[in-house]
Amino acid sequence: MSTTTYSVSRFEVRRDTLLWGLLLVNTELLLVFAYQLLSPNTITGLTPVVVPFVWINLGLWVVVRTEVPAASQRRRTIGVAIAAAYFGVLAYFGGLWGLGDPAIPASARFELFSLPPGWAPALLVHTPYLRLSVLTYQLVGYLALTYLVYATVLDAAGSAVTGVVGLLSCVSCSWPILAGVVTGLVGGSTAVAAAVYDQSYLLSTVVFAVTVGLLYWRPGFR
């Protein structure tokens, strides 16, 4: 009878990873302290600080630790196409881009100091046809997920993996849709809708972390 084994080494904490991680966290703390001292805006609560750095740190870590398997040119081309489509859909439902509104005047801003570190730098653009709201932590997180999807496609040995990738892709982008549905059902001014949006960043972070873990580990395929 065959057995399935899992590679524990993929989760081992390497010394160089730990050192670079500590340096990254220290840098982020310095940026937060500098923002508190120099910015007229004040950070209230832990969510604006913790959420973006969880996305950024986890995204960077998983990209560094993920090894892209060797594959033929055809499979790499397919992987790039799937990953690009995945990123486009994910960025759309995540709010990074969308359709513009001709009734709103065109504008473009690059926010560097008005938003907390991790949220900024941010690119905010609105035209009659296209809207961009690119926040640093979301961009890093979505690019990390896209890289994982690409690696998963190259690592896939059978058609069953395609279905798993599709499922995980939906998990990582479904929260904005669910939040919109819930708000539409209960009404935007109700206490329930307010609670949904108050917790949206934390819930989306949990979904992001779980999706990263599943795409990185790929249980059942190793």
Q: Does residue 6 belong to any structural domain of this protein?
A: no
Amino acid (1-letter code) at residue 207: V
Give me the pLDDT at residue 13, please.
Answer: 61
Q: Is residue 3 part of a domain?
A: no
Task: List, for residues 72-91, the tens digit of each pLDDT value.
Answer: 898 899 889 988 988 888 88
Q: How many domains does the chain have?
A: 1
Residues 145-168: tens digit of each pLDDT: 889 888 888 877 544 444 444 444
Q: Is residue 112 part of a domain?
A: yes
In a domain, 5, yes or no: no
pTM: 0.77
CB 101 within 8 A of CB 129: no
Q: Is 38 part of any domain?
A: yes
Structure tokens at 124: 């905010």
- In whole angstroms, give the CA distance from residue 26 to residue 140: 19
Strands (E), the chain: 97-99, 107-111, 122-126, 130-135
Q: Would residue 25 count as lying in a domain? A: yes
Q: CA–CA separation, 137 vs 131, rounded Å? A: 18
Using CA of residue 88, residue 93, residue 97, residue 100, what is the dihedral sign?
A: positive
Q: Is residue 22 part of a domain?
A: yes
Range from 27-31, 198-202, 206-210 carrying the lowest mean pLDDT: 198-202
For tokens 């949206």, name the residue: 200
Please state, as a whole number, how many other Cβ atoms lie within 10 Å of the Cβ of residue 130.
Answer: 12
Write out the residue range of the structural domain in which residue 25 sits: 11-217
In-domain check, residue 104: yes
